Structure 1
Amino acid sequence: MPDSFTAPVSRRRFVAVTAVATGMALAGGCALPPADDEPDPLLALAVAAARDARELAAADASHGDDAPRLRRIADARRIHAERLYAEIGASEIDAAEVEPGDTAEPIDTADVPGAGSPAVCPPIGEVRERLREDARRAGEVAVDSRGYRSELAASVSAACTTAVEVVLA
């Protein structure tokens, strides 16, 4: 007898479950902001997204039929990193100094750890594990945040879950 049971999930059911999970994460948007002495919780999400964007873009023929899918996920993770870094930069600007229509300069992603070494795409099993962990962590950040930051983290969580359960299925 198997130790665990995994049931196939239809795309419709997956979308419904993801929508409910995102709604629950957004409902937690009324939580208190982190203390000033704690690091910004979006920073860990941004670093992970930048790492994934860099490494998954390096998918080559050794990844077989998964290479194009990994590169599409890399594009999504690059956008996650850009938006997260932009929000981190925006949160550091004093609101009194911002004029209507101004935008915050995103943090340079070249400062991401490991950005100087050649990118190597990990095996597909490790990619799935990373994305699941990133989805879990982003969901926690969404629950603990509020407003746009909560929405941003929830969308990262949903995108990582979709990448694992639909794109890499």
Structure 2
Amino acid sequence: MPDSSTVPVSRRRFVAVTAVATGLVVAGGCAVPLVDDEPDPLLELAEAADRDARELAAANASHGDDVARLHRIADARRTHAEQLSAEIGPTDSTEAPSNGAEADPPPAICPPIGEVRTRLRDDARRAGEVAVASRGSRAELAAAVSAACATAVEVVLA
């Protein structure tokens, strides 16, 4: 009776068995969903864009000659918020109040122009970081938001 441990194995058989085993290990690793407890980085960008859209649209005569420019930026930021929200998709973070009634948000007040510039610079920096860390359409969208915020500060509000 031959000893099974001494049966010669051909190179082809060894390579085939090794390839199958490697494939099973790799496929098994791909099938395990990764748990990601970090919030979507686009969510913060969407919230900032929504805030800017509301507050900059509230610019009034107290902002002097900057009112029309702030309203244009508000329109752009509204578009950013919509596009970012569409890319993110539905989230569970939008919970209704426990009593079932909608809470009225506080009235929007446009900050002074210096604060608007600071916010937009911060938003441009943050969106640029997200663009570098992301891939595909998410990176493109974050880069577009970064460029638009930087342009708003350096060109529109110059």
TM, length-normalised to structure 2: 0.70
| Structure 1 residues 77 and 35, CA gap change in structure 2 (3 angstroms) | farther
- 5+ residue gaps, structure 1, are 1-33, 93-106
Partner residue, 1:130: 119
| Letter of the structure 1 residue corresponding to residue 40 of structure 2 | D
Partner residue, 2:84: 84
SS of 1:38's equivalent?
Answer: coil
Work out the percentage of aligned pairs sharing the same amino acid: 75
Q: Which of the pair has the greater relative contact order for Cα pairs under 8 Å at 6+ separation?
A: 1
**CA RMSD for the aligned pairs?**
2.5
- When Rg is computed on C-alpha atoms for both structures, the one with the higher figure is 2
Matched residues in 1 for 2:87 and 2:144: separation? 14
| Residues matched between the structures, number | 118
Report matched runs for 1:67-146 at 5 Å.
67-89=67-89, 116-146=105-135
| Letter of the structure 2 residue corresponding to residue 56 of structure 1 | L
Q: Which 4+ stretches in 1 moved above 3 angstroms? A: none
SS of 2:89's equivalent?
Answer: helix
| Letter of the structure 2 residue corresponding to residue 87 of structure 1 | E
Partner residue, 2:47: 47
Deviations 1:49-72 (A, max 9, x none): 000000000000000000000000
Matched residues in 1 for 2:36 and 2:64: separation? 46
